[in-house]
Structure 1
Amino acid sequence: MRLNPVFLLSATDAAHFPAEPKTHGRPEVAFLGRSNVGKSSLINALLGSKEARVSSTPGRTRAINFFALHEVAGGKQKAVPSIIFADLPGYGYAKISKSISAEWPKFIEPYLGERETLALCICLIDTNIPPQTSDQQLITYLKQVQRPFVVVGTKADRISKNVLMKNLAALKREHEIEEILPVSSKTGAGIPALWERIQSAAE
């Protein structure tokens, strides 16, 4: 099965979120993480396309970008999407974090806290760096609002397996979580396992 991503819209206000006619009420999967954690690269690896814009400048995404994923069978694209991806603004980058943090209550918190069609949050954390307070705050928030989430460790190909295991153990301990799914957008490691989680949540 192939999924064809179609860009829907960018939302900077709760009033801009795509309505039922655009999404057909399909389940949504939100991608969250610190600026430069590799969020766009992961989305592109999942989609097998360049739909999400990858920037070398952290914090370029200032809106929630929505993509509808349509099943393609026999060369024809189904009209109703199977699932919706929501790419959220990055956080934690010193130069712009204050401006983005100020915007969060206006449209990020309503999306995470109140969006009925939100089925899963994918929290990206960098396996190459020590645990970050901002990641901890996000995980705590998702627990408080009782959103299903999976924590994904990005850039897992950049360090040796021994160092990766050590870093994952430290991250799990610090963030008080039982599991982190290591992935690499470059090698594709962990991508099939993440797709399984996404499809399971969507069902």
Structure 2
Amino acid sequence: MRLNPVFLLSATDAAHFPSESKTYSRPEVAFLGRSNVGKSSLINALLGSKEARVSSTPGRTRAINFFALHEASGGRQKAVPSLIFADLPGYGYAKISKSISAEWPKFIEPYLGERETLALCVCLVDTNIPPQPNDGQLITYLKQTQRPFVVVGTKADRLSNNVLGKSLAALKREHDIEEILPVSAKTGAGMAALWERIHGVME
């Protein structure tokens, strides 16, 4: 099934979120992770486009960016999207000013805690570095709030199979999770497995 992405809006306040009306209510998939973990690159690889802006400066994304994914049928694009992607701001980057970081709970916490259409959280962790405490805090939060989530290990192409296996084992042990999907936005490895999870929320 071909899904065509369309940028919807950037939200820095809960009032700016897309409508959850019954006529437009679609499942949303949120992408979360540390700054520079590769969120935008992963989204672009999934979509086969460059809708998500990739910056060389960590912490550049400071809003929740929403993308509507429309199914194409018979050469025409359906008006109502099948799915919505939400690209959340990265966390854990020291150079981001405290004033900006202080604003995030005003719209990120309401989104994760109260958003009824949020169907899946994709948590990105970097396979090239040791387990990070703030990744663990996010995973613990999602467990406590009973939000469905999948943990994805990014930049897997940079490691040999042996080293990658050890990295994934350490991440699973530290974050107390049973599964991590290794992916590479560069080579496309793991994208099919991740899409399978995402398609599951559309059924």
TM category, shorter: over 0.9
Structure 1 runs of 4+ with >2 Å offset: 20-23, 97-101
Is the Cα contact below 8 Å between 1:29 and 1:198 reproduced in 2?
yes
Alignment of 1:127-166 (within 5 A): 127-166=127-166
Check 1:51–1:151 CA distance in 2 against 1; reply closer, same or farther (3 A cut).
Answer: same
| Residue 168 (structure 1) aligns with | 168
| Residue 46 (structure 1) aligns with | 46
Q: What TM-score do the two structures reach when normalised by structure 2?
A: 0.97
Is the Cα contact below 8 Å between 1:28 and 1:202 reproduced in 2?
no
Q: What TM-score do the two structures reach when normalised by structure 1?
A: 0.97
Is the Cα contact below 8 Å between 2:34 and 2:93 reproduced in 1?
yes
Q: Which moved more, 1:176-185 or 1:88-97?
A: 88-97
CA-CA distance at 1:145 after TM superposition = 1.1
Where structure 1 has 5 or more consecutive residues not aligned to the other structure, the ranges are: none
Is the Cα contact below 8 Å between 1:9 and 1:67 reproduced in 2?
yes
Q: Using the alignment, how far apart are the partners of 2:122 and 2:106 within structure 1?
A: 21
Q: Using the alignment, how far apart are the partners of 1:201 and 1:82 within structure 2?
A: 10
| Residue 84 (structure 1) aligns with | 84
| Residue 37 (structure 2) aligns with | 37
Check 1:89–1:22 CA distance in 2 against 1; reply closer, same or farther (3 A cut).
Answer: farther
| Residue 95 (structure 2) aligns with | 95
CA-CA distance at 1:170 after TM superposition = 0.3
Letter in structure 2 aligned against 1:139: I
Identical amino acids, percent of aligned pairs: 87
CA-CA distance at 1:130 after TM superposition = 0.3
Q: Which moved more, 1:73-82 or 1:184-193?
A: 73-82
Q: Which moved more, 1:89-98 or 1:107-116?
A: 89-98
Q: CA RMSD in A?
A: 1.4
Check 1:100–1:194 CA distance in 2 against 1; reply closer, same or farther (3 A cut).
Answer: farther
Is the Cα contact below 8 Å between 1:30 and 1:120 reproduced in 2?
yes
1:201 aligns with 2:201: yes
Check 1:149–1:111 CA distance in 2 against 1; reply closer, same or farther (3 A cut).
Answer: same
| Residue 73 (structure 2) aligns with | 73
Count of residues in Structure 1 that have an aligned counterpart in Structure 2: 203
| Residue 24 (structure 1) aligns with | 24
CA-CA distance at 1:75 after TM superposition = 1.5
- Specify the SS of the correspondent of 1:131: coil
Give a deviation string over 1:130-159, Cα, whole Å, max 9, x none. Answer: 000110011011111110000000000001
| Residue 15 (structure 1) aligns with | 15
Letter in structure 2 aligned against 1:71: E
- Specify the SS of the correspondent of 2:112: helix
Give a deviation string over 1:15-51, Cα, whole Å, max 9, x none. Answer: 1111136981000000000000000000000000000
CA-CA distance at 1:105 after TM superposition = 1.9
Q: Which moved more, 1:121-130 or 1:70-79?
A: 70-79
Q: Using the alignment, how far apart are the partners of 1:103 and 1:132 within structure 2?
A: 23
Letter in structure 1 aligned against 2:150: V
Q: Using the alignment, how far apart are the partners of 1:23 and 1:200 within structure 2?
A: 21
